[in-house]
């Protein structure tokens, strides 16, 4: 029996890759698969929904679920824990909380959260270090409602690591760009003003409601690597 939706997802992918289910073929219903795998229909539904979002399946109401004729190829971007990323490079990670305060969000941030301009959010700015040298400047806006009481001590654990470990997210958007360092960024990252920085801007949501919006400015020389 397959109990977890990840196991069912893996089995469906195996059948597609083995051509047990060929491109364009109608696959069994959720009810039939739930009976075969010995699990709840909701578990099957989640696995098939995930594969539809990944482009491997095509789902149409009252028409069933088919194997995609031309599966979409998507790059997968997981939210990394910066500490682990630094340690994977064989370096020692450090984190300095530069500022933490609740304050009115600027219009672009308020808009990303679906709030009116001036709505109060928690702003957290911090610097990640690799072997004592600037690695990543994190400028984050956070919905205070996601924090428990008492609040985490972000001097001891970075907002990045705490959020990845404690706050689930369902969807998000991400953008990458190359920018010239401002005077503030240059001072924080220890580089020249105008130096080329790799910047990631990301907003994550849970059940349609934004959790956090963050701008990550990497020190010069950073290289992004992912899988496809």
CATH number at residue 211: 3.40.1410.10
DSSP 94: E
Token duo for residue 33: 């698969």
| 25 and 132 assigned to the same domain | no
Rounded Cα gap, residues 139 and 214, in angstroms: 6
Note if the pTM is more than 0.85: no
pLDDT tens string 8-40: 988 998 898 888 999 999 999 999 999 999 999
| 212 and 125 assigned to the same domain | yes
Kindly state the average pLDDT of the residues 52-68: 87
Residue 196 domain-assigned?
Answer: yes
Rounded Cα gap, residues 15 and 74, in angstroms: 20
Helix 30-37, helix 41-53: angle, nearest 10 = 120
| 47 and 131 assigned to the same domain | no
Residue 107 domain-assigned?
Answer: yes
Residue 167 domain-assigned?
Answer: yes
| 198 and 98 assigned to the same domain | yes
| 109 and 205 assigned to the same domain | yes
Residue 63 domain-assigned?
Answer: yes
Select from 67, 93, 112 the last residue of a domain: 67
| 93 and 186 assigned to the same domain | yes
Strand, helix or coil for residue 48: helix
- What distance lies between CA 137 and its chain's CA centroid? 18
Q: Please report which confidence band the pLDDT of residue 71 belongs to, taking 50, 70 and 90 as the band edges.
A: low
Rounded Cα gap, residues 203 and 32, in angstroms: 38
More confident: 28 or 5: 28
Residue 26 domain-assigned?
Answer: yes
Token duo for residue 24: 């364009």
| 134 and 214 assigned to the same domain | yes
Residue 160 domain-assigned?
Answer: yes
| 59 and 94 assigned to the same domain | no
| 104 and 182 assigned to the same domain | yes
Task: Print the domain residue range for 14.
Answer: 5-67
Rounded Cα gap, residues 160 and 162, in angstroms: 6
Q: What is the CATH number of the domain that holds 26?
A: 1.10.10.10
Residue 75 domain-assigned?
Answer: no
Select from 43, 67, 91 the last residue of a domain: 67
| 92 and 190 assigned to the same domain | yes
pLDDT tens string 175-186: 999 999 999 999
Strand, helix or coil for residue 113: coil
DSSP 88: H
| 48 and 121 assigned to the same domain | no
Strand, helix or coil for residue 73: coil
| 56 and 93 assigned to the same domain | no
Rounded Cα gap, residues 117 and 106, in angstroms: 6
Rounded Cα gap, residues 141 and 109, in angstroms: 8
Select from 67, 99, 118 the last residue of a domain: 67
Residue 122 domain-assigned?
Answer: yes
Q: Please report which confidence band the pLDDT of residue 57 belongs to, taking 50, 70 and 90 as the band edges.
A: very high
Q: Which residues of 150-165 are buried (b: 16+ CB within 10 A; e: fewer)?
A: eeeebeebbbbbbbbe
Number of domains in the chain: 2
């Amino acid at each position: 029996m397959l109990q977890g939706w990840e196991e069912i997802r893996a089995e469906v992918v195996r059948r597609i890759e083995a051509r047990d289910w060929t491109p364009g073929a109608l696959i069994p219903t959720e009810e039939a698969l739930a009976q075969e795998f010995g699990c709840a229909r909701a578990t099957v539904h989640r696995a098939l929904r995930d594969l539809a979002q990944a482009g491997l399946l095509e789902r149409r109401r009252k028409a069933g679920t088919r194997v995609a004729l031309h599966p979409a190829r998507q790059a997968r971007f997981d939210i990394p824990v910066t500490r682990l990323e630094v340690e994977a490079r064989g370096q020692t990670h450090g984190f300095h909380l530069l500022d933490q305060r609740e304050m009115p969000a600027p219009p672009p941030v308020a808009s990303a959260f679906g709030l009116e301009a001036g709505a109060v959010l928690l702003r957290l700015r911090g610097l990640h270090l690799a072997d004592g040298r600037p690695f990543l400047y994190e400028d984050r806006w956070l919905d205070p409602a996601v924090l428990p009481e008492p609040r985490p001590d972000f001097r001891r654990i970075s907002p990045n690591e705490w959020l990845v470990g404690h706050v689930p997210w369902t969807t998000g958007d991400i953008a990458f760009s190359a920018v010239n360092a401002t005077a503030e960024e240059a001072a924080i990252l220890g580089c020249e003003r105008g130096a080329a920085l790799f910047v990631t801007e990301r907003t994550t949501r849970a059940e349609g409601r934004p959790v956090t919006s963050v701008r990550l400015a990497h020190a010069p020389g950073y290289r992004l690597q992912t899988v496809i």
